[in-house]
Structure 1
Amino acid sequence: MAAQKPQRGRALLWLPAAVMAVVAVADIVSGPGVGFLPLASLGPAFAGLVGGWRRTAWFGLAALLLCVALGLYDGLFQERRGFLAMVSVVGVTCAGVAAAVMRGRQEAELASVRSIAEVAQRVLLRPVPLTAGPLQAAVSYTSAVAEARIGGDLYEVVASPHGVRMIVGDVQGKGLAAVETAAVVLGAFREAAHDEPDLVGLGERLERSVARELEGEKFVTAVLAEVGARHEAVFLNYGHPPPMLVREDGTAHFPQPPAYAPPLGLGLHSEGSPKPFAAGFAPGEQLLLYTDGVSEARDRHGEFYPLGDRAGLLKDSDARSALDALREDLVRYTAGPPHDDAAMLLLRYHRHTPGERAGGR
């Protein structure tokens, strides 16, 4: 596919010249009675669709010279037909130049917006650390919006005094409003992760921040995780798909909370605080946090993506390569563009060296 696009682009660039050549041959073969001469204006017309204004003007000049040459050959300047053909070429050329100028301005504006989006991506969804405490991390993000780099999914890893803390979340909705909400959640998480001594306090800080920003019934599903000195991961789940733990033997488990907390933005009116829950997480094992763009992806028959059955794809020794293999399998499974943002955060517990103390950080 990548090789086909440049070939297609080169074909479009040569199309104006090819069209004018066909018009010239057809006019010479058919004679002046058929009236092919006005079709010479197709050259600058096609040039205006795919090239800049200078290129369009040059093709317009070439079409005008071709029109004069064919008009003299056919003897059409003894009547109005030759002059009308020249007027049509000039008119189409002017329109093509104007269209090329406007398209150039729009492309410049789009390039500026894309550069701003790239900066926003680095600020909002900055790269996670390759290592954090005893963990190795890798992340994958695919936006459902064409040409977009960021969307409503969010992730972060913070090495705090209380352990390594992670968040993966999904903002209701799409577009710039979802990006703005994601920025609020990530900003609150990055600050509170260092200050709050436990996940419940961290979750309450996030809840207050989101409640101040969101209006109506908008919400954010999220799962918070913490890995400390003990060989376990502690979770707090706000209506989010459960994490996947991959044991050393390759089997996958999905730790479920005793009760799901309401999504962030809806929890201030609920009674009681959400309850954290723990699952064993030892060296050599893997933890995958993800959004519903992964778990609810469907194939052409409407079947959900079998994430648990794909745990074997994470066997690559490099975490980044393992996550890439899982993402590529997800794309093949859906056989088309994603219908929702899809974020995945893979965490691997380092194996201890023989001289390292068990449970050490």
Structure 2
Amino acid sequence: MSQARHHDGDHAPMRQFRNRVAGVRASVHRRAAGQLAAGMSVLPVVVVAVVVMADIAGGAGMIWLPLLAAGPALAAATNGPRGVLGVGLLAAGMGAVLGTGRGVPSHELAAVLSAVLAVTAASGLASVLRDRRERVLAAVRSVAEAAQHALLQPVPETVGPFRVAVRYSAAAAEARIGGDLYALVPTPHGIRLIVGDVRGKGLPAVGTAALVLGVFREAACDEPDLLAVVGRIERSLARNLGPDDFVTAVVAGYSLSGHLEVVNCGHAPPLLISASGDVVAVEPTHPSPPLGLRALSGQAPRLQRLSFDVGDQLLLYTDGVTEARDHEREFYPLADGVARHVCGDPARTLTALHDELLAHVGGRLHDDAALLLIRKQSEDGPAAVASPSGASAHQEPRLIS
């Protein structure tokens, strides 16, 4: 008796091991079944169910059974390979049951089931290829996002005496970056910023934007004069751009003397927003050619100096904003939009403008669009801004020189 108990005890670890193996296998099978079921979206299964019900109601199996192949075919567009396989097996199983129950000739039933399985195999291959393309696209998007952060570096919310906000939208949503550019750099000579638009689209425009921003960031720190910064960019573009390429841009700076300096090189005029909410377009007193075209025009850029007090704001933007059209081909009225939405928080102002812009065009922009807004605040914190309800867009900027 003791020998029997001892013998049984010797086999206890083996039984425990077998039980564990069986449990692991059952767990794997349950997990695989769960993944297979999770991979099947509702719509392909609904299609199979509709075909089955139509066959039951119609009573003529060979009229409806071939339509079971629509289930796995549809699953290829919405499911992964496991989901396609699950829908295909479901369709084949239901076809076999219905065909056998209705006495469908074996050769005809075999043809139907073969068609369903062939469509399942082809759909599974299509799903694998789709998943691979989606992974490649995701990788491309991640690279594009990294390139965007390297090219259009994040702008801090507070720089010196300013609060800053930026909104950028590329027309090609998958690309994330385009030909519009912006930068804000604190330098020993004051705060300097640029907003520009490269002629053209695609990778050449992105390369030109990277060139302009690289030269600007270096020159902004080296050159005490804002016109010298613009000259550095002009010389670099003259060496690297083709004869038909150019960049429109506004280069601005808040000098140590407390004045706002603006150089407009063929770009849309910035909007100066006073503390009381008045919106004024800063038209250039002496229009200058776009960057890269000075040699053709022979005109040199000119510097404008404006007073910029606590509570004042400056909005720089690209033509993707002002040339955005609605379904009636009407341009977006940016100055009116600013007058409606301006407040003491630049980020909230740009969020409201951007949302209104997207609503104006129906949800998607057809050109790159950039908005950069700075607001001067007191050293102790943001100053109060009057309600924009009485805002006006018809006053003149406070031009110093």
- List structure 1 segments (4+ residues) > 6 angstroms apart after TM superposition: none
Paired position in structure 2 for 1:203: 230
Residue identity (%):
47
Q: Does 1:304 align with 2:331?
A: yes
- Whether 1:223 and 2:250 are equivalent positions in the alignment is yes
Deviations 1:255-309 (A, max 9, x none): 2222222111212333253111111211110010111112222333333222222
| C-alpha deviation, 1:314, in angstroms | 4.5
Instruction: Determine if contact 2:44/2:75 at 8 Å carries over to the other structure.
Output: yes
- The range that moved more, 117-126 or 129-138, is 129-138
Matches within 5 A, 1:1-361: 13-32=41-60, 35-78=63-106, 80-353=107-380
Calculate the TM-score normalised by the size of structure 2.
Answer: 0.81
Cα distance, 1:18 vs structure 2: 1.1
Q: Aligned to 1:92, what secondary structure does the other structure show?
A: helix
Provide the rounded CA distance (Å) in 2 between the counterparts of 1:325 and 1:160.
Answer: 30
Could you tell me which amino acid in structure 2 is paired with residue 66 of structure 1? M
Number of residue pairs the alignment of both structures matches:
343
User: 2:283 & 2:98 partners in 1: Cα distance?
Assistant: 80
CA separation of 1:33/1:240 partners in 2, compared to 1, >3 Å: closer, same or farther? closer
Task: Say if 1:255 and 1:279, in contact at 8 Å, map to a contact too.
Answer: no
Please say which structure displays the higher CA radius of gyration.
2
Which secondary structure state, in structure 2, belongs to the residue aligned with residue 141 of structure 1? strand
SS at match of 1:36: helix
Report the secondary structure of 1:236's partner residue. Answer: strand
> 2:55–2:61: 8 Å Cα contact kept in structure 1?
no
TM-score scaled by structure 1? 0.90
Contact 1:247/1:286 (<8 A) preserved: yes
Aligned equivalent of 2:29: none
- Structure 2: gaps spanning 5 or more residues: 1-37, 382-401
Counterpart of 1:304, as a letter, is F
1:115-173, Cα deviation, whole Å (9 max, x unpaired): 10111111111111222222111101111113332111110001111111000000111
Residue ranges of structure 1 left out of the alignment (5+ in a row) = 1-9, 355-361
> Conserved in 2, the CA contact under 8 Å of 1:200 and 1:273?
no
Relative to structure 1, the CA distance from residue 138 to residue 97 in structure 2 (aligned partners, 3 Å threshold; closer, same or farther) is: same
Preserved contact between residue 53 and residue 97 of structure 1 (Cα < 8 Å) = yes
Q: Return the alpha-carbon distance in structure 2 between the equivalents of residues 49 and 288 of structure 1.
A: 45
Deviates more, 1:221-230 or 1:258-267: 258-267
User: Matches of 1:244 and 1:81 in 2, distance apart?
Assistant: 75
C-alpha contact 2:289 2:299 (8 A) present in aligned 1: no
